[in-house]
Amino acid sequence: MRKVQQALVIRHREIVPGYFELEFIAPEIAREALPGQFVHIRVTQSLDPLLRRPFGIYNVEKKIGSITVFYRVVGRGTRMLSDVHTAEQLDVLGPLGRPFSLPRYMRRALLIGGGVGIAPLVYLARVLCEHKVEVTVLLGASTSGYLVGKDILKRMGIDFMVSTDDGSEGMKGRVTDLLERVIDKKQFDYIYSCGPEPMMAKVTEIAQARGINGELSLEEHMACGIGACLGCAKKVIRNGTAAYAKVCTDGPVFKIGEVVF
């Protein structure tokens, strides 16, 4: 059940230029937050800007009731959020959206994240490990400094490989090139992915060619975040029929093959 909470910011730092990690205390939301869900944050205490901004949940510390989100400054709203300081309060609504599923009998999962798309996969990786699933994460970015999530995955002891477009770290090329190299090395039962749409279209193609099921999390502009405005409609195929789904409530997680790219 979604809640609105005044959340105390306990950590807010710029990791690389334009990329921020924000942790706040919101125990009621943290208690229920599942991997793949998002929070909708009012970026200032005033009503300007009017609309909240959606952020995928990057990590949850249930003991202290904190949630961490990771974001990139892309416009006015995120620029205003980046000015928020530790000990300030934020108005947070959540948890929202359909989470990733954790299929029974899953032994090995492959997670593929591009850019800030790694954010929801970090929390998912942690939960999968708690469920004794063997997890491999593939991380892709333009260059080494933007390989987000690497340090937290290392701290969690999660197996990961990286690719960079410029070859400054890991394999030179796109993360989907790395995926093609890795996918047949182990028998993966399930794939999860989040990142730019061309990347997820390619992940879909690679997974379907091998008959591996999985899920994608879409990054979409949202206004209301609760299914009321239709501002996040996305074309999907369900039961063989084309339809429009609301990313905020029907997603942001969809089955591989459902989303029309």
What residues line the site for ligand FES (CB under 6 A)? 222-225, 227-232, 246, 248
Minimum CB distance to ligand FES smaller for 147 or for 218: 218
Q: How far is the CB of 239 from ligand FES (least distance, A)?
A: 22
For every residue of 223-239, which 3-state class applies, written as one string? CCCCCCCCCCEEEEEEC
Residue 9 or 51: the one with the smaller Cβ distance to ligand FES is 51
The nearest distance, CB 40 to ligand FES, in angstroms, is: 9
CB 93 → ligand FES: shortest distance, Å? Answer: 12
Closest CB to ligand FES among residues 137, 222: 222
**What is the closest distance, in whole angstroms, from the C-beta atom of residue 59 to ligand FES in the complex?**
24
Q: CB-hemisphere CA count at 13 Å for 157?
A: 5
Comparing CB distances to ligand FES, the nearer of 22 and 96 is 96
How far is Cα 121 from Cα 195, in angstroms, rounded to an integer?
10
Sequence-distant (≥ 6) Cβ neighbours of residue 36 within 8 angstroms: 56, 57, 97, 98, 99, 100, 120, 124, 215, 217, 252, 253
CB nearer ligand FES, residue 120 or residue 170: 120
Cβ proximity of 196 and 114 under 8 Å:
yes
Nearest to 120 by CA among 54, 24, 170, 197: 54
Minimum distance of ligand FES from residue 259's CB (angstroms): 15
Q: Tell me how far, at minimum, the Cβ of 256 lies from ligand FES, in Å.
A: 21
Between 178 and 232, CB nearer to ligand FES:
232
Burial class (CB in 10 A: 0-12, 13-18, 19+), 8: middle
Of 209 and 230, nearer to ligand FES (C-beta) is: 230
Least Cβ distance, residue 2 to ligand FES (angstroms) = 13
